[in-house]
């Protein structure tokens, strides 16, 4: 073997040492396989539904049958109740033991992870946001994320990475050692995924809960800012120190406590609070619609 061949062997050996950890690949594979199974099931279900519709249309209702609205058919292929808010991006690496604790859609779509049972945004945490436009990164350090230009800012045990993929993405980590390294590693693992959607737990006159946080699928709190009123739906009773006044809301007996009204309905607590009492609080709680299948399975789950 000559000198060039020896150098080639050594160079390839060096490259092999940089093989990525299999974790992200295995996670991505697991997700894709799951999605594939779901797709097969959905296609089969949609196919059976189509056959039933065709038989019904052709045999039973021949002249009187009106074809279904195409949107209804499409809705049948959407997971949950079809009210999913797209998140579009997902990380494939997070520090060990981190689970998801918050999803917000009020401004920039945001997801937060941290240790199981921790309050969202407390230390340590990882936050991923998709922005509409690039924030001011003057004074930030230049970096690279998947070959794309990026900027990093480190402040003590916190670091943020911003880069422009299809959208402007922002990964922030707080309360971790080697914050810069962790933030960049999370950012490198982020992949576009159009199928990641989130169905908020409730709706109020066409607007959906903007923020959902919790520690487990059956222990969560969601809210919507409705003008000056905060409308909330939660699995736990809100803190209402005595005295409480009885009030009829949603056809049940609820309570009024200062500027808050709350009622338990279907196992969930629905409440509205404002800086001053008004009958509008009761009206708003009356109008809250709980979605059929709220998407809370992500709460307390890792990647």
Partner 1 sequence: MTPSFDDFVAEQVTPLLRYATVLTCDPHLAQDVVQEVLLRAQQKWDRIGSVDLPHAYVKRMVTNEYLSWRRRRAAKDVALCMTTLESVTPPVADKTHHYDEREAMLQRIAKLPRKQRAAVVLRYYENYDDSEIAQMLGCAEGTVRSHISRALATLRMEHTLEPAGVGSRLGEGLS
Using CB under 8 A as the criterion, which residues of the chain lie in contact with partner 1 when the complex forms? 4-5, 7-22, 24-26, 28-29, 32-33, 36, 144, 146-147, 184-185, 188
Q: How far is the CB of 2 from partner 1 (least distance, A)?
A: 9
Our CB check for partner 1 shows the closer of 146 and 207 to be 146
How far, in Å, CA of 111 to CA of 96, rounded?
17
Tokens representing residue 29 in the block:
């594979």
Q: How far is the CB of 160 from partner 1 (least distance, A)?
A: 16
Q: How far is the CB of 147 from partner 1 (least distance, A)?
A: 6
Q: How far is the CB of 140 from partner 1 (least distance, A)?
A: 17
Q: How far is the CB of 16 from partner 1 (least distance, A)?
A: 5
Our CB check for partner 1 shows the closer of 44 and 228 to be 44
Q: How far is the CB of 191 from partner 1 (least distance, A)?
A: 9
Phi, psi of 79 (to 5 degrees): -65, 160
How far, in Å, CA of 259 to CA of 272, rounded?
8
Our CB check for partner 1 shows the closer of 111 and 185 to be 185
Our CB check for partner 1 shows the closer of 28 and 57 to be 28
Our CB check for partner 1 shows the closer of 6 and 106 to be 6
Our CB check for partner 1 shows the closer of 26 and 54 to be 26
Our CB check for partner 1 shows the closer of 18 and 155 to be 18
Q: How far is the CB of 25 from partner 1 (least distance, A)?
A: 5
């Amino acid at each position: 073997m000559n000198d060039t061949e020896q150098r080639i062997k050594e160079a390839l050996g060096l490259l092999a040492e940089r093989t990525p950890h299999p974790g992200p690949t295995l996670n991505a594979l697991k997700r894709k396989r799951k999605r594939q199974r779901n797709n097969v099931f959905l296609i089969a279900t949609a196919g059976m539904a189509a056959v039933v519709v065709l038989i019904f249309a052709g045999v039973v209702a021949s002249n009187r049958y009106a074809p279904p609205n195409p949107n209804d058919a499409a809705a049948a292929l959407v997971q949950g109740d079809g009210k999913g808010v797209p998140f579009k991006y997902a990380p494939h690496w997070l520090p060990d033991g981190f689970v998801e604790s918050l999803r917000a859609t009020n401004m920039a779509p945001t997801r937060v992870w941290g240790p199981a049972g921790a309050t969202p945004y407390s230390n340590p945490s990882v936050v991923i946001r998709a922005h509409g436009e690039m924030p001011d990164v003057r004074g930030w350090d230049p970096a690279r994320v998947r070959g794309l230009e990026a900027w990093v800012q480190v402040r003590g045990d916190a670091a943020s990475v911003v880069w422009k993929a299809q959208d402007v993405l922002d990964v922030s980590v707080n309360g971790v050692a080697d914050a810069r390294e962790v933030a960049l590693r999370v950012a490198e693992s982020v992949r576009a995924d159009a199928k990641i959607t989130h169905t908020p737990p409730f709706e109020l006159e066409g607007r959906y809960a903007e923020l959902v946080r919790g520690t487990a699928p059956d222990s969560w709190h969601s809210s919507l800012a409705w003008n000056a009123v905060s409308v909330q739906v939660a699995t736990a009773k809100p803190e209402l120190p005595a005295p409480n006044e009885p009030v009829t809301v949603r056809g049940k007996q609820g309570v009024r406590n200062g500027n808050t009204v709350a009622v338990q309905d279907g196992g969930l607590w629905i409440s509205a609070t404002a800086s001053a009492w008004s009958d509008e609080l009761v009206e708003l709680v009356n109008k809250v619609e709980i979605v059929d299948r709220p998407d809370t399975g992500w709460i307390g789950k890792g990647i």
